Structure 1
Amino acid sequence: MANQDSNTLKAADFASDSAHEQLQSALFSVLPGEIRNHIWKYALADYQDETQLYDDATCYKRPDYLAPRKTNTVLLRTCKRIYQEAWFLPWTNAEQIFYLTSADRRPPRTTTPRDMQRTLLEISRTQTMPTIQHVRVFPQLYALENGQRLQEILNLRFFYPKVITITIRHTDWWWWESDHNLHLDATWVGFCRFPNSLTELRVAFESLERKKDQIDDVVRQAMEGWVFRRKDDTELSAKNCEPEIMRWSGSATWNHHRWIRDETGPNKLDYYVSTVTWKPIVSTNTEEAPGIHVVGSRQSPNLDAIGFTQLNDPTPSVPISFIRNADMPLDAPTEDVRRLLSQVSDEEEDDDHSEEEEDDDRSEDDEDESERSESDSEDDEFMDVESGED
């Protein structure tokens, strides 16, 4: 079986008249091209390669992203005629994924804008310009909020996506480690211009299940206040959208720490995701300055979840090495891990008290020694005086 990454496919390097017409096959002599295209799409659909599952203790393993995606390209090896008709389908049908994150928050192998541009140029040479069905972007907020890195992707030549989904994960929010309330700067909303091919822009807002109300709050603000724009100035609105809700559970371990503050079970976190869809509307304002989006008379608002209680846990996470050194299983019950922490804390406190007592004893010994030294000195002076009188 031939497996291939969708961004390594090459256009046919042979002339169309060099390919056999294959009229002896009902695929070409009976079925119309539209039906063949459906067959090709089904046969060349990508899938998760479960022989290379991602580590559970990562922030990028999640539903539908359990492993790298591959395509079985055996069909393309059967004959030149099929290859000419279908060589680009593994690429256009596959979800094209970008990670605008630091290295530890993305899989080892990912598609870069340069990889994508190379494939787009390869397709353009065949004078075939198909629409990409779905593009997914996973951005940390530092890489999203000013819009520049996202716009680099949107400005790729011959880039015609139909749907773009931007997923903001729990660990992408600012200061999630300290349990800050959710905040998202909206500069990118007005800065970014999306391809004219776009029919849906989806933004998935994710956090912990216990922060569901915060997610619902920022989603409401985004639906009411955010309007995106394509390069042809067509606006996209979400005012009539009904958010899609998804819940899932994953590992509480990431970056060699287990986040016991947020656990809902042994080494388990529960997540809440609300996805909003923006769709094109007829623009009524053609006088807006480029690069600035105005909703009514104001700029797109930042999203802020205000007034929600934060958890001030003195020990939000525990190093995995701490659990291993205690000969506990990595998925030991949360209560057991906290009990161990308490015991270690008590032992350290006892050690501190012991050290203080030893310091006090040493101090008292030093004082006694000092007093003895002073007494000996006085005795020596007294003896000197006695000796002098004799």
Structure 2
Amino acid sequence: MANPDSNTLKAADFASDSAHEQSQSSLFSVLPGEIRNHIWNYALADYQDETQLYDDATCYKRPDYLAPRKTDTVLLRTCKRIYQEAWFLPWTNAEQTFYLTSDDRRPPKTTTARRMQQTLFAIAKTQTMPVIQHVRVFAQLYILENGARLQEILNLKFFYPKVITITIRHTDWWFWESDDNLRLDATWVDFCRFPNSLTELRVAFESLERKKDQIDDVARQAAQNWIFRRRDDTELSAESCQPEIMKWSGNATWGHRRWVRDETGPNKLDYYVSTITWRAANSKVTDNDESTSSYVAGSRKFPNLSAIGYPQLADDITNVPISVILNADLPLDAPTEDVRRLLEQPSDAEDEDSDDAEEEDNDSGDDENNSEDDDDDEFMDFESDVEQTEYR
């Protein structure tokens, strides 16, 4: 069992200490607790810290994820009674975000299951069991598909999320670099069991705008064929779900390369996202995750998702290294045609090699001509000798 973070423990201990009732304040003597909670929630809402914007040339900068999120906690330092009522809200109200990805596909600082468990233990120490409003998981398929890493998060103690969203981004699909058709193994659908507190599970399928038909296809397959389960064996179904569609545009540069194959404008990609929602049907939401059924993970089999028969984009030039663009003294957002031309036309070195090759060919041709002349001379000498012999 992990030891809770010392700062979180101190906060929990401070919240447990007695405080003045503040009965002289109308905030506590007049306003009911429900109204005060609305005030605390509003004042302690998190927001994007735009003084620390993420680099545009990353695959994790996107709408609502332009920068790290933060919460102003000045309110909690004004009164211990307020602190006791609201100290955990900056954490439970904020969207808790996990990245099940390689290091280069997530921000420098992210939430880990271990650190979240420490915080959950600290909150539980105060006998407070607040529901986390929203958990977001960005997942590459090579980590998501077997379900093990996702289940590590779902197995956290005192973890009571209300909504979980799993987002599969354009660069999370298998072999997106070679424009493969979209596919997703369903092993994790069988394997993962979700907390009993969950009311909605959302899966956001994202790819390029030009692959919207493939996204619609796999999203439809998932909605029709996949059923998720909570620990209490309650099914989450997407029956009658209408996909939620979002479109957005982002930077075409990632991994020190500009992906010109997919550009819709200079250094620009257009994205298409379809989100399917699975909801718990005919169930009583409970925070007691000890309630489980005899269901054995893997006893059911759901079909894999596969977009079959869609044409792949045939293009010899998929991306251009940023170093090539800079060496050509072009701006990073130069027109797509100008950037592609850097790889379509031979470099100066190639031109020199070509000139040298032509000179060698010419020299070789001269040698051949000289050789032919020598042969002619020899033949003429031979004829002369014959004539002289006959004359004799």
TM-score, reference length from structure 2: 0.86
2:242 — aligned with what? 242
2:317 — aligned with what? 315
- Summarize deviations over 1:323-376 as a string: whole Å, max 9, x none: 11111111011112123333336x6664454343344456678889999xxxxx
Q: Which amino acid aligns with 2:323?
A: S
1:188 — aligned with what? 188
Answer yes or no: is the 8 Å Cα contact 1:7–1:115 preserved in 2: no
Show the 5 A alignment for 1:258-269: 258-269=258-269
Of all paired residues, the percent bearing the same amino acid is 77
* Structure 1 gaps, min length 5: 1-5, 372-390
Answer yes or no: is the 8 Å Cα contact 1:225–1:301 preserved in 2: yes
After TM superposition, give the deviation of residue 282 of structure 1 in Å: 4.8
2:68 — aligned with what? 68
Report whether the alignment pairs 1:19 with 2:25.
Answer: no
2:326 — aligned with what? 324
Bigger mean CA offset, 355-364 vs 17-26: 355-364
Assess, with a 3 A threshold, how the Cα gap between structure 1 residues 118 and 369 changes in structure 2: closer, same or farther.
farther
Q: Which amino acid aligns with 1:77?
A: R
Distance 1:42 1:287 in 2: 39
Answer yes or no: is the 8 Å Cα contact 2:168–2:204 preserved in 1: yes
| Structure 1 SS opposite 2:126 | coil
* Structure 2 gaps, min length 5: 284-291, 373-392
After TM superposition, give the deviation of residue 13 of structure 1 in Å: 2.0
Q: Which amino acid aligns with 2:154?
A: L
Report whether the alignment pairs 1:49 with 2:49.
Answer: yes
Answer yes or no: is the 8 Å Cα contact 1:162–1:200 preserved in 2: yes
Show the 5 A alignment for 1:214-253: 214-253=214-253
Assess, with a 3 A threshold, how the Cα gap between structure 1 residues 273 and 179 changes in structure 2: closer, same or farther.
same
After TM superposition, give the deviation of residue 71 of structure 1 in Å: 0.4
Distance 2:111 2:58 in 1: 18
After TM superposition, give the deviation of residue 14 of structure 1 in Å: 3.9
Distance 2:178 2:332 in 1: 23
Report whether the alignment pairs 1:271 with 2:277.
Answer: no
1:206 — aligned with what? 206
Show the 5 A alignment for 1:149-160: 149-160=149-160
2:378 — aligned with what? none
| Structure 1 SS opposite 2:346 | helix
- Summarize deviations over 1:297-344 as a string: whole Å, max 9, x none: xx2111100010101211100001111111111101111212333333
1:339 — aligned with what? 341
Instruction: Tell me the matched-pair count.
Output: 362
Assess, with a 3 A threshold, how the Cα gap between structure 1 residues 71 and 349 changes in structure 2: closer, same or farther.
same
1:354 — aligned with what? 355
Distance 1:129 1:123 in 2: 7
Answer yes or no: is the 8 Å Cα contact 1:9–1:87 preserved in 2: no
- Give the superposed CA RMSD: 2.6
1:302 — aligned with what? 304
- Summarize deviations over 1:259-313 as a string: whole Å, max 9, x none: 0000000000000000000011359xx998511253xxxx211110001010121
- Summarize deviations over 1:189-233 as a string: whole Å, max 9, x none: 000000000000000000000000000000010011100010111
Distance 1:258 1:114 in 2: 36
